[in-house]
A and B are shown apart, each in its own frame.
Chain A
Amino acid sequence: MEEELISKKELLDMTGISYGQLYRWKRKGIIPEEWFIRKSAFTGQETFFPKQLMLARIDKILHMKDGLSLDDLAEMFSPTPSGQSIRVLDILERNIVSRPSIELAAPYVGQTELYNFEQTLYLYILDQSLLSGEMSLEEGPHLLRTLMEHYGKYEGKNCDLLMIRKMGLSVFMMLSAGSEVFFDGGTKMVFRVSVAKCIEELKLKISIL
């Protein structure tokens, strides 16, 4: 992936964090293993990080640390859904998912007063995709079905949801996070969303409830 990378040295200089902090966060899973990118350098091996992701994450950790324990943070940033249930009323009131999306999803996800975290996550991804304006309402149920059928198979590991389109035909698929995909010419990648990132955003929104 052609993201901008930052070396460990630069990162520690820039943020002022210590090796101890960096590795503690890694142990706690607040910084995912995949972000430690090893590259050979003249001194042997050097570690690099995706710059934007890493700086944003460290900023969050440093600013949220007051009041939240490392374990709370670990829970928030972990790619596994939390066990809590969320009331539909709260979802709507907090603008986590818009009403049209909930109505669209109701026949597939089920119509209840209380959604579990996974269901909320599916709704959230549906809503975000619709809001992006790149997916039509008719395509929404396909997205939901893809998530509902396959998300569980990743067993909490990071994965991405991908939408492609060719000659007006749309296809959804799920991939392990960070994996490379290539398409036949004329195929348009509509979007690729990181489920882990959605979980993180969602947990953040729910935690304010």
Chain B
Amino acid sequence: MVEEHVRHLSIAGIGALKGGVFQEATIEGVGDVDGDVVCTNFKLEGKVKVDGSVSAQKVKLEGVAFIGGNLRSDTIVAKGKLEVKGDLIGEDLRLDAKVIVDGRCETESLHATGKLRMGVLNAGSAHIELNGNSQINEIVGGQIHIQKQPAVSLTDWLKTPEISPAGKLTTQIVEGDDIYLEYTAAAVVRGTNIVIGPGCKIGLVEYKTKFEQDKNAKVERAERL
């Protein structure tokens, strides 16, 4: 259905609508959208389930979002929980959420705090603060920085890394130019400059220029390429 005038998708309260092409897509409350959504701005406050893909220029999510297909937007800001069955693709992603991506996550820049579960992350730069157990099978890109979320209370400071369960990442492979890792378990870490911080368990490190290792990190083997 092609219509000449500008359409908006709007749900306030509880509602179910069909997808389509819109200027603004706003959901305040609980919404079900059946079909693909193409829009300029996608805004959620509450909960939404989209049976299809969303492609927008700006996406702002506060609450719980389930996207059955791909989520693609220049900027994506998410707070709460975001689950994407397909791929998550954007220029600039800011995720302060529990994020599950079944497919790939591709972005120029990623800032994430929280619990992540992804197949493959390919990012120009990725800055991840771990909170809870995260799993990303493959992390590749330029600058990759993974750290534990800075502790807030004194008791957190007193805990040793072994006891603290508060955040860790499990992955198969990390590959990039500049890599900094904390509390990460990986089979292989490969890159130009690699710093393995506290709490890491790495099978093999392959580096080109620089390699540093924290005394509270375990690296089975390190090789210069």
Contact B122 A20 (CB under 8 A): no
Given contacts A27-B106, A43-B204, A44-B172, A19 and B187 within 8 Å (CB-CB): no
Q: CB-CB contacts of A12-45 with B at 8 A, as 1s and 0s?
A: 0100001110011011000000000000000111
Give the chain A neighbours of B191 by CB distance below 8 A: 19
Kindly supply a per-residue 1/0 record for chain B positions 188-214, scoring 1 wherever the CB is within 8 Å of any chain A CB and 0 otherwise: 101110000000000110000000000
Structural contact, B142 and A24, CB atoms closer than 8 A: yes
By beta carbon, the residue of chain A nearest B141 is A23
28 A–B contact pairs at CB < 8 A? A9-B225, A13-B225, A18-B142, A19-B140, A19-B141, A19-B142, A19-B175, A19-B176, A19-B190, A20-B141, A20-B142, A23-B122, A23-B124, A23-B142, A23-B176, A24-B108, A24-B141, A24-B142, A26-B122, A27-B106, A27-B122, A43-B188, A43-B204, A44-B173, A44-B188, A44-B204, A45-B172, A45-B173
In the bound complex, residues from chain A placing their C-beta under 8 Å from that of B107 are 27
Q: How far is the CA of A45 from the CA of B124 in the complex (A)?
A: 22
Size category of the A interface is 10 to 19
Report A46 CB to chain B, min CB distance, Å.
9
Q: How far is the CB of A110 from chain B (nearest CB, A)?
A: 26
Closest residue on chain B to residue A21 by CB atoms = B142
CA gap between A19 and B140 in the complex, in Å: 8
- Does B143 reach chain A (CB closer than 8 Å)? yes
Q: List the B side residues contacting A27 at CB < 8 Å.
A: 106-108, 122, 124
Chain A residues closer than 8 Å to B204, beta-carbon distance = 43-44
B177 interfacial contact with A, CB 8 Å: yes
Q: Which residues of B contact A18 (CB under 8 A)?
A: 142, 177, 192
Distance of B194 from chain A, by nearest CB (Å) = 11
A19: B residues at CB distance < 8 A: 140-142, 175-177, 190-192
Alpha-carbon gap, A13 to B225, bound state (A)? 9
**CB of A164 to closest CB in B, whole Å:** 36
Tell me the B135-187 residues at the A interface (CB within 8 Å): 140-143, 172-173, 175-177, 187
How far does the alpha carbon of A24 sit from the alpha carbon of B107 in the complex, in Å?
9
**Are B176 and A24 within 8 A (Cβ)?**
no
Contact A20/B173 with A9-B225, A26-B122, A44-B188 known, Cβ cut-off 8 Å: no
Are A23 and B172 neighbours in the complex by a CB distance under 8 Å?
no
Q: Which residue of A lies closest to B124 (CB)?
A: A24
Q: Which residues of B contact A45 (CB under 8 A)?
A: 172-173
Q: Bound state CA distance, A115 and B137, in angstroms?
A: 46
Q: How far is the CB of B50 from chain A (nearest CB, A)?
A: 22
- Lowest 10 A-B CB distances belong to which pairs? A20-B142, A20-B177, A27-B106, A23-B140, A18-B177, A23-B141, A19-B176, A44-B187, A19-B177, A23-B122
Given known A-B contacts A44-B173, A45-B173, A20 and B188 have beta carbons under 8 A apart? no
With the chains together, A187 CA to B19 CA distance in Å? 50
The CA-CA distance from A200 to B140 in the complex, in Å, is: 27
> Which residues of the partner chain A approach B142 to less than 8 Å between Cβ atoms?
18-20, 23-24
Once bound together, how far apart are the Cα atoms of A165 and B108, in whole Å?
Answer: 48
B190 CB contacts on chain A under 8 angstroms: 19
Within 8 Å CB of B108, what residues of A? 24, 27
The one of A20, A26, A43 in contact with B143, judged by C-beta atoms closer than 8 angstroms, is A20
In the complex, are the beta carbons of A20 and B225 less than 8 A apart? no
Q: Measured between alpha carbons, how far is A55 from B134 in the docked complex, in Å? A: 36
A62 to B175 Cα, complex, angstroms: 22
Q: Give complex CA distance A60, B55 in Å.
A: 31
- A20's contact among B106, B172, B176, B187, by CB below 8 Å, is which? B176
Closest B residue to A29 by CB, please name it: B106
Question: What's the least CB distance linking A148 to chain B, in Å?
Answer: 26
For A47, the closest partner residue in chain B by CB is B175
Query: Which of A20, A43, A44 has the most CB atoms of chain B within a 10 A radius of its CB?
Result: A20
